[in-house]
Structure 1
Amino acid sequence: MTPDDMLTRLSGRLSLRRRLAVVAVLLAGAAMSLLTGLLWATEPALPTRTQAAFGAMIAVGLAWVAYAVWVLTRRLPLFALDRVVAAWLGLAATVAVAVPVAVIAARPVALLIVAVLLLAALANLRRGLTRRAALLRRKRELDG
C-alpha cells in the first residue's frame, strides 16, 4: 500500500455503520427535545426547578441534533474530530444534568451513579483524544 492509498483511506467518508449511528443520535436528540418540549408546554404550572431541568434537557437534545447535522454534512475528513466533539458534548451533558440531580437527591446511590457516569464520560473523552492524535500522527508520517 502506498502512502497515497493510506491517505485516501484516512480521508475517507464516514462508514455506513457510523452514519447510521449518527442518524440515530440525531433522531434521539430530536425526539428527546420534542417530547420534553411538549410535556413542558402542556404543564404550564411547573415549579421553577422543573422548568429549568426541562430547559436543560431540551438544550442537551438540541446540542446532539446540531452535532449530528454537523457530522453528516461535513465534506472534509474529520480524523476522529467528531468523536472528540461527541465526547465533550457527552461530558457537558453529564455535568449539566446528572450532577444537579445528584446534588438535589443527596443520596449515596445517586452520587455513585453520577460518579460512574462522569468516569465513563471522561474515559470516552480520553479515548477520542487518543484516537484523533494517533490518526493525525499517522497522517503527518504519511505526508512526509
Structure 2
Amino acid sequence: MDRVSKEVRSANMRKIKSKGMKPEMLVRRLVHGLGYRYRLHRQDLPGRPDLIFSNRKKVIFVHGCFWHSHRDPNCPIAHKPKSNLSYWEPKLERTKERDMQNVKRLEEMGWQVLEIWECELKDTVELAHRTRRFLDG
C-alpha cells in the first residue's frame, strides 16, 4: 500500500524530469572542466545519450541508480520498491531492457558508450580519471 494518495503520487511523478537533473549536471560540469566539448541529447541516436562527442564517436549516459536498476550490491541508492510491485517491477525491467538495447544499437552503429551511475558521482577524482580514459582511449 502506498503511503500517499494516488493524486499526490501522480503529482510527484509528473515533477520528475529526464534532462538536466543534478547527476547529469555534475557530469557535464566535470567533463567541461576537463576541457572536453560535447552536444546534448541527440534525438537521432538510440536512447538520446546525455553527452555526445561526435568527433570521437563516443557517448555518455548518466543513469539514476533507482530508475535504471543499478545492480551493484554496494550501491546505497538503488533499491526495490516496497509497494505497488505489480506496477514497479515491469516498469523498471522495461527501462533496464531498453538501456541494454540502446547500448547494443549504438555499438552496432560504431559508437563507444560509457554509463555513469548516480552513486559513482561522490568520488569525482576517480570519475574524472575514468571519463578521461574513456574519452582519450
TM-score under structure 2 length normalisation? 0.28
Of the two structures, which has the highest relative contact order with CA contacts closer than 8 Å and spacing of 6 or more? 1
Instruction: Point out the structure with the larger helix share.
Output: 1
Larger Rg: 1
Instruction: Point out the structure with the larger strand share.
Output: 2
TM-score under structure 1 length normalisation? 0.27
